């Protein structure tokens, strides 16, 4: 992915985030995720039916990287089974940890492939996944 395209994806998702907004519907679970190194503070709303993530929305305050990453994450994760979502998250972890990863799983989330170069922003890109991973791992427990 070339630099201009990456920038475009990030800015577009920051300016017009997908799945953005507060949800007040009891069929959704809510979890909060924040970044201890800054003030990012996002609430996520998730709806799972028959092991499939039917919907995932978010709202709150966050920097450009956290917000665009959350937008992309929600777009890519809606429709996945819990296991697929967990696999997706580990591919994202591989990418930001500079390990081999599957581009075809991450799609446009690959725009963060160079984020490891900016240590302070690595956490921002990972923000949407940290809370989701914990939520999904505990879902069947």
Partner 1 sequence: MNRNDFPMLNQDIIYFDNGATTFKPQNVINSVIDYYENYSANAHRGDYDISYKVDLKYEDVREKVRNFINAKEKEEIIFTSGTTMSLNLVATSFFAKYLEPGDEILIAKTEHASNVLPWFDLANKIGVIIKYIDLDKDYHVTIDNVLNAITPKTKLISLAYITNVIGDIRPIKEITKLAHERNVFVCVDAAQAVAHTKIDVQDLDVDFLGFSAHKMYGPTGVGVLYGKKELLDQADAYMLGGGMNESFDSEKEILLKSLPYKFEAGTQNIAGVIGLGAAIDYINKIGIDNINSYENNLRKYLIEKLEKINYIDIINYEADSAIVSFNVVDIFSQDIAYYLNKYNVCVRAGNHCAKLVKNVTGVTNSVRISLAFYNTEEEIDEVVDLLSDYEKIRNEMI
Write out the residues near partner 1 by the rule CB under 8 A.
7, 10-11, 14, 38-41, 61-65, 67-68, 120-121, 124
**Minimum CB distance to partner 1 smaller for 2 or for 25:** 2
Query: In the complex, what is the shortest distance from the CB of residue 38 to partner 1, in angstroms, rounded to a whole number?
Result: 5
Looking at the Cβ atoms of 68 and 76, the one nearer to partner 1 is: 68
* Token pair of 20 as six digits: 């953005």
The residue to which tokens 């075809």 are assigned? 104
Query: Could you say which DSSP state residue 97 is in?
Result: T
Smallest gap from Cβ 118 to partner 1, in A, equals 8
**Minimum distance of partner 1 from residue 53's CB (angstroms):** 27
Q: Which DSSP letter does residue 38 get? A: S
Quote the least distance from Cβ 54 to partner 1, whole Å.
30
Q: Based on CB atoms, which residue is closest to partner 1, 41 or 43?
A: 41
Least Cα distance to 95 among 5, 6, 4 occurs for 6
d(CA 34, CA 53): 22
Q: Which segments within the chain are labelled E, that is strand?
A: 29-34, 41-49, 52-61
| Token couple for 138 | 């505990």
- Our CB check for partner 1 shows the closer of 65 and 106 to be 65
Q: How far is CA 79 from CA 7, 53, 85, in A?
A: 26, 5, 9
**CB of 62 or CB of 85, closer to partner 1:** 62
User: Cβ 96 to partner 1, closest distance in Å?
Assistant: 15
């Amino acid at each position: 992915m070339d630099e201009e395209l990456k920038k475009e994806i990030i800015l577009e998702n920051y300016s017009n985030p997908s799945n953005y907004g507060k949800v007040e519907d009891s069929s959704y679970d809510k979890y909060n995720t924040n970044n201890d190194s800054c003030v990012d503070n996002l609430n996520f709303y998730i709806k799972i039916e028959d092991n499939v993530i039917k919907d995932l929305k978010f709202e709150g305050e966050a920097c450009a990287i956290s917000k665009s990453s959350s937008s992309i994450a929600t777009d890519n994760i809606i429709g996945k089974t819990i296991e697929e979502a967990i696999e997706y998250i580990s591919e994202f972890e591989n990418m930001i940890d500079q390990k081999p990863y599957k581009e075809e799983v991450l799609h446009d989330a690959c725009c963060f492939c160079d984020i490891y170069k900016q240590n302070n922003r690595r956490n921002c890109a990972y923000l949407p996944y940290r809370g989701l991973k914990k939520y999904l791992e505990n879902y069947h427990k």
